[in-house]
Chains A and B, each alone.
Chain A
Amino acid sequence: MTRVLDVARIQLVNWPALLAYPPAAVAALPLLGWGIDVSNGQTAVGDHEVYLLPMLLGVAAAAHLQTMTQVFPFTLGLGVTRRRFAAATALVVVGQALFVGLLLVGFAAVERLTAGWGREARIYELGALRQDGPLTQWLAFTGPIVATSAVCVLAGVVFQRWRQSGIYLAVFAGVALLASAGALAATQNWWRPIRSFLGGQPSLTLFTAYPLAFALALGGTAWLVLRRSTT
């Protein structure tokens, strides 16, 4: 475990990208939201939502791509096993997501206290994400960040093993899979039951359980690719 923590510390050398840029982005959202409201001419015109949170997912997760393509080959040369590197990556991903999720809970509280930044804007407490308590709210914020980070980890591992051709193939296969699934759902008239199923799920399940299960699946795939990766 000590060795895993040491590898995590090495990954955190890039701490600005992991732990400073995401909070900066979190803090900047009200200003960006205000800008959007102004440009839309909707300043203080009643309760409204500003969809900026998805941008935050990209900011939080991108650093893990570098972790896999740059820090992994470096530490492998220093005698770190792939297993320990993967464990350290999981630790950093979850730790970062919990940290950013906690910040979001705080900013959501400020948003409530200030009546939506003084103009009834909801940037953090989007309706779909809203939870009854701070703990469940924290989990609902954390789940999507973990899932997005897992996508970046997998992309980094694929690049590390198969370079650009691996990325091209993965993107092509992913798009083909999604398109095929969409076409199948359309031809079988499954969209309505799918919407009904998802609509009936508790918000915590949608934003925590499913993203974490998705992240676990991607993490498992990333491990299968990583265990035979060379530098």
Chain B
Amino acid sequence: MNVVRTTGVTKRYGALAALDGVSVTLAENTIHGLLGRNGAGKTTLMRILTGQSFETGGTVEVFGQHPYENADVLARTCFIKESQHYPEKFRVRHALRAAELLYPHWDAAFAAELLADFAVPTGQLLGKLSRGQLSAVGVIIGLASRAPLTLFDEPYLGLDAVARQLFYDRLLADYAAHPRTIVLSTHLIDEVSDLIEHVVLLDRGRVLIDADAESLRGEAVAVSGPADAVERFAAGYEELHRERIGGSLRVTLTGAPDRAHPGLDFEPVSLQQLVVRTTQHHGAPVAAGKEAR
């Protein structure tokens, strides 16, 4: 069953198309990676899926219904934003209590465990927390809510490597015990590549990849060797990237079933490399973009 289905969704801010004909389906009880550069449209898509923003065109279905002002849909949805601002008078315990009131599957014991894991003081005013502690509060709410559809929009800002790994470990363990649909938007693709089961890659508001992570891992290969031999081998396959050093050539190919050829070296391509190469292949400017709101 699909939890999310969008068909030709567009979102325009004047002349800028933050989303341009996005059609994706997100299956139930799966961890989805929503990947893409800054400004690709990831946050915009998640805001539309959670009824916080409005599409300009196309159709959006979450749990089979449009999410806007849909109490039935939104009660099953938790959206943890990187830019989440908390009321300045709220302490950590108030934010958690609010989530407890609103989510029927809230696990208070799990939240307490996570608070201890991330060393977040419950009595502290949210406005006085560090960036990492604030991110941890978002992570705790997202995990302990056990919402059937949980969206994390770059939830790791300010978290160090140890805390991020803790988040991934806790997410995976809790997901195994309580399967649900999780959408994880991140730039740290290598860190989550073993976690995500389905990949949606957005670039400049369009879907570049919508595929199972497992099939993607086997889809691309980096072939290197003498330039002539590599050129002959690469002919007929889709080429994502090429690097030439002297007489040697290294190309990243998709759809190449033959992984053995005399005189050529074959290396698997990581998910991050595949995303980078696919994005570059489609001609995105290299300069860092700005996430559309």
> Which A residues contact B (CB, under 8 angstroms)?
3, 6-7, 9-10, 13-14, 16-17, 66, 70-71, 73-84, 227-228, 230-231
Contact = CB atoms under 8 A, between A and B. Distances in A.
A19 B293 CA distance: 36
Interface residues of B, number: 35
A9 B101 contact: yes
B90 interface: yes
Interface string B232-243: 000000000000
A13 B87 CA distance: 10
Contacts of A7: 102
Contacts of B54: 228, 230
B80 to A, nearest CB: 7
A79 B98 contact: no
B69 interface: yes
B175 to A, nearest CB: 19
Contact of A76 (B52, B90, B99): B52
Centre residue among B79, B86, B102 by max chain A CB count within 10 A:
B102
Interface in B65-103: 69-71, 74-81, 84-90, 94-95, 97-99, 101-103
Contact of A10 (B78, B98, B103, B145): B98
B74 A73 contact: no
Nearest to B73: A79
Contacts of A82: 69
B89 A75 contact: no
B111 to A, nearest CB: 14
B47 interface: yes
A78 B78 CA distance: 5
Given A9-B101, A80-B74, 20 more contacts: A3-B71, A3-B75, A6-B102, A10-B98, A10-B101, A10-B102, A13-B89, A13-B97, A13-B98, A70-B88, A73-B85, A74-B84, A77-B50, A78-B145, A79-B78, A79-B147, A81-B51, A81-B71, A82-B69, A83-B71
